Amino acid sequence: MSIFESIKNAIFGHGSTPVTAARDTPAPQGSTAAGGPAGSPPSTAAAPSTAISAGGLEAQLTQLNAKSAQKLNWQTSIVDLMKLVGLDPSFANRKQLAQELGYKGDTADSASMNIWLHKEVMGKLAQSGGKVTPDLKG
């Protein structure tokens, strides 16, 4: 499953297991790849299978953030958005996500790539049925 599909499924609640680490990066012993204790499921959002309103999508992500031990800036950071939905935000995974989504820039310029990724992911979530507010589209 692609990393974007894992993000989308975690948010829309399609019950698929998210990609949590790059294929060559094993999870530490005694934990899941998402960083929780062994045996605990990754953090995912339960959502209806129909479109989510702009307020609903934002509220769902805000609610996940409220439950998180770490307060994440998912509104502007692809790293924090990936953490919020239980995915490994490693550089390797972000590069893979950039490749999946057709990034044409220099992946070595991680700041530019990350800004593009966040904007692109929010746009793709909107195309997938999530109503994304204009301020989240970047």
What are the domain boundaries of the chain? 3-21+46-137
SS3 content of the chain, % helix, strand, coil (to 5): 45, 5, 50
Predicted model pTM: 0.69
**32 vs 13, more confident:** 13
pLDDT by residue (tens digit) across 39-70? 333 443 433 345 555 456 787 888 889 998 99
The β-bridge partners of 31 are 37
Instruction: Dump pLDDT digits (tens) for 87-127.
Output: 999 999 999 999 999 999 999 999 999 999 999 999 888 88
Note the Cα 58 to chain centre separation in Å.
13
